[in-house]
Amino acid sequence: MLTNQERAAVGLNTLNTNAKLAAAATAKANNMFEEQYWDHYGPNGETPWMFITQAGYTYVYAGENLAKGFRTAEGVHEAWMASPTHKENIMSGKYKDIGVAVVEGTLLGKETILVVQMFGNPTTQTFSPTTTVKSNTDTVTKPIVPSIKESGEIKSISITNPKMGELIDDANVDIKGETSNITGEYTVEILNSDSIVGETESSTKDWQFDKGSDWEEGEQDIQAKIKGENIKSDVVTFTIDSTPPKVDQSTITVKRDTQYIELQFSYSSDTTELKFVTGDKTFDLELTEENIATLNIPKEDISDRSVLMATDEAGNISEIDISEYFLEGDEDSTDFGTNLVLWLRNVIGTTDGISLIIVGFVFILLSIEIYVYWRKGRLGKSAGELFTVGAWWLIILVGVFKGFGGLV
């Protein structure tokens, strides 16, 4: 039995053929032909557990696999093993017994073969794999590929975007996927680490889920499930990284000699590429274990505008204008005045779009409002309103200072 070959390959118990489960599988196949449906649940409230119980099998754990239109055992087994939900039944440690039925008939006007696989365990005893390592005897652990091309059907769902292991810099990425042999309107539930984060509806094989808000930074374990049915996709793990790497501006130093200017600074550990651009010239900087970069630049190459660019693995880029560091004058170009000018220049033109000028404008308006209320003698009555406006101003200001302007 192909099912037991798969289980034995990972050290699971082999399943015993059970006559009651085989009778339940046959009854289920006959009922699908009689009532003209192909599903785990029938139009009159039929359930897999109903057939198992009626066959006289008392269960603690039970499961069911269905297939349609296959002509070989190898073909249907291969399709089941390629489907996460069906494979979960075949490789489950909860089961002791199995019953299989293969029945021919006419379903929805078409001659076909239905395959029903019933699983059961009358006890609470469960089993665990003893090994996940496959030996060289692959012919035992893998079913033989059928020589005749199969065209059978099983119901399944998969995620097509994002891809497994993908690193994404868009925190608002949509989840896309497709189904097989699901007809009519259906609802797809999206789970992240086994918690439902939302759902979407579709009436075609393709579906798309828009979370409506950003995914959290870091690793996501996404799975799609047909609502109301035990049909799940493989788990797809991807990582959201929308935060650009940082150059520590307080560590920037510039030293001059007769021919070269030495630039040195530290950067965040997630940086994968550093570039220094001055005028039409670009210099690549070598990354170090200490996260400190050093570059010697010929004096004649320095232009009026010089920029540091840091990139991470996800493609996020941060850019800092350091032109003022190369102004001719005092040898120590990292004095307080220069740093203050550069800091203001970079904050006012933050890449995430929040301008310190706007924050200052709001502060001026707040000050004028306080003055007007004071002149009219209404300062005490309006303290709550002024406090709220002032609190929001402070939040935005802190956001700009901390580099979270876009988030604010």
Higher pLDDT, 209 or 353: 209
141 within a domain of the structure (yes/no): no
Which residues lie below 8 Å from residue 151, measured CB to CB, with a gap of 6+? 69
320: CATH: 2.60.40.10
CA separation, residue 250 to residues 61, 242, 402 (Å): 63, 24, 14
302 within a domain of the structure (yes/no): yes
226 within a domain of the structure (yes/no): yes
Specify the pLDDT at position 144.
35
pLDDT per position as a tens digit, 355-369: 566 667 777 877 887
63-67, 198-202, 260-264, 334-338: which has the minimum mean pLDDT? 334-338
State how many domains the chain has. 3
Specify the pLDDT at position 198.
93
Query: Does residue 372 register a pLDDT over 80?
Result: no
pLDDT per position as a tens digit, 278-323: 999 999 999 999 999 999 999 999 998 999 999 999 889 999 999 9
pLDDT confidence band for 397 (50 / 70 / 90): low
What whole-number distance in Å separates Cα of residue 367 and Cα of residue 372? Answer: 9
Specify the pLDDT at position 407.
46
333 within a domain of the structure (yes/no): no
251 within a domain of the structure (yes/no): yes
- Claim to verify: residue 105 and residue 175 sit in the same structural domain: no
What whole-number distance in Å separates Cα of residue 150 and Cα of residue 142? Answer: 17
Specify the pLDDT at position 341.
56
CB 356 within 8 A of CB 400: yes
pLDDT confidence band for 220 (50 / 70 / 90): very high
- Claim to verify: residue 306 and residue 224 sit in the same structural domain: no
- Claim to verify: residue 176 and residue 235 sit in the same structural domain: yes
CB 78 within 8 A of CB 142: no
Secondary structure (H, E, C), the chain: CHHHHHHHHCCCCCCEECHHHHHHHHHHHHHHHHHCCCCCCCCCCCCHHHHHHHCCCCCCEEEEEEEECCCCHHHHHHHHHCCHHHHHHHCCCCCCEEEEEEEEEEECCEEEEEEEEEEEECCCCCCCCCCCCCCCCHHHHCCCCCCCCCCCECCEEEEEECCCCCEECCCCCCEEEEEECCCCCEEEEEEECCEEEEEEEECCCEEEECCCCCCCCEEEEEEEEECCCCCECCCEEEEECCCCCCEEEEEEEEEECCCEEEEEEEECCCEEEEEEEECCEEEEECCCCCCEEEEEEEHHHCCCCEEEEEEECCCCEEEEECHHHHCCCCCCCCCHHHHHHHHHHHHHCCCCCCCHHHHHHHHHHHHHHHHHHHHCCCCCCCHHHHHHHHHHHHHHHHHHHHCCCCCC
pLDDT per position as a tens digit, 225-249: 999 888 899 999 999 998 999 999 9
381 within a domain of the structure (yes/no): no
24-38, 60-74, 381-395: which has the minimum mean pLDDT? 381-395
- Claim to verify: residue 63 and residue 48 sit in the same structural domain: yes
The last residue of one of the domains, among 325, 343, 370, is 325
What whole-number distance in Å separates Cα of residue 268 and Cα of residue 401? Answer: 18
Domain that holds residue 254: 247-325
Number of C-beta neighbours around residue 238 at 10 A: 20
128 within a domain of the structure (yes/no): no
Specify the pLDDT at position 51.
96
Specify the pLDDT at position 392.
72
Specify the pLDDT at position 225.
94
385 within a domain of the structure (yes/no): no
Query: Does residue 340 register a pLDDT over 60?
Result: no
Query: Does residue 73 register a pLDDT over 50?
Result: yes
Overall pTM > 0.85? no
- Claim to verify: residue 234 and residue 251 sit in the same structural domain: no
89: CATH: 3.40.33.10
Higher pLDDT, 398 or 329: 398
- Claim to verify: residue 16 and residue 82 sit in the same structural domain: yes
Burial of 347 (0-12, 13-18, 19+ CB in 10 A): middle
- Claim to verify: residue 297 and residue 205 sit in the same structural domain: no
The last residue of one of the domains, among 186, 215, 240, is 240
What sign for the dihedral angle of Cα 177, 182, 187, 190?
negative
- Claim to verify: residue 6 and residue 117 sit in the same structural domain: yes
Residues facing 119 on adjacent strands? 63, 98
Taking residues 112-130, report their average pLDDT: 93
Number of C-beta neighbours around residue 135 at 10 A: 9
Taking residues 133-159, report their average pLDDT: 53
